[in-house]
């Protein structure tokens, strides 16, 4: 992929950066010149995946990527992660809220634990990373959060996921207004199924 924007000297945090859209986003930001921090929840698989991507990116440009293990549903851990980024890089310019999980089941069969698990990561996690990310974000930065077409139209068996993603999209509309005076943009994208 050829990237035509120059983001040299900028720093980005991508939550859920060890796989899928998060990993792809981290690679594109890196190709554009960013230093990237790949957040992952710290499981054996995500740690291995994140470390492989970091090695790949650092092979292209030395000290341009790092992995940070943090469960985004833990507010204290998120605050510590942001403190680490502030200490290491002086702050961030971009926050990509990509971390997410699914626990699909019809509403009638969905357990409270399945509901709560999705809300904790997909909605509360975006709140925590955005709140504490703003504390270390440079003026003129940007927050991009992953919503979903499910949050607009709703899909069978995804009440928890759809509710969380609709909340993320609403949160970004509010955050965009609240951060405008610092020149920080906040937006959501809503990927769908192909």
Annotated catalytic residue within 161, 164, 171, 179 = 161
- State the Cα–Cα distance between residues 11 and 117, nearest whole angstrom: 30
Domains of the chain: 11-189 (3.40.50.720)
Average pLDDT score over the chain: 97
116-147 pLDDT, tens per residue? Answer: 999 999 999 999 999 999 999 999 999 999 99
Residue 128 a catalytic site member: no
Please check the confidence at residue 194 and state whether its pLDDT lies above 70. Answer: no
- pLDDT at residue 2, rounded to an integer: 74
- pLDDT at residue 1, rounded to an integer: 62
36-93 pLDDT, tens per residue? Answer: 999 999 999 999 999 999 999 999 999 999 999 999 999 999 999 999 999 999 999 9
């Amino acid at each position: 992929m050829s990237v035509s924007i120059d983001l040299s000297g900028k720093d980005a945090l991508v939550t859920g950066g060890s796989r899928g859209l998060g990993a792809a986003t981290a690679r594109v930001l890196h190709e554009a010149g960013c230093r990237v921090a790949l957040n992952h929840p710290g499981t054996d698989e995500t740690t291995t995946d994140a470390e492989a991507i970091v090695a790949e990116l650092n092979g292209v440009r030395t000290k341009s990527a790092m992995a940070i293990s943090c469960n985004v549903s833990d507010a204290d851990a998120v605050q510590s992660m942001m403190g680490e980024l502030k200490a290491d890089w002086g702050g961030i310019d971009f926050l990509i809220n990509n971390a997410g999980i699914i626990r699909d089941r019809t509403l009638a069969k969905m357990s409270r634990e399945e509901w709560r698990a999705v809300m904790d990561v997909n909605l509360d996690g975006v709140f925590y990373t955005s709140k504490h990310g703003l504390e270390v974000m440079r003026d003129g930065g940007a927050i991009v959060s992953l919503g979903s077409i499910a949050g607009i139209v709703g899909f069978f068996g995804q009440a928890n996921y759809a509710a969380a993603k609709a909340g993320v999209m609403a949160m970004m509309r509010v955050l965009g207004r609240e951060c405008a005076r610092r020149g920080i943009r906040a937006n959501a994208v809503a990927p769908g199924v192909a």
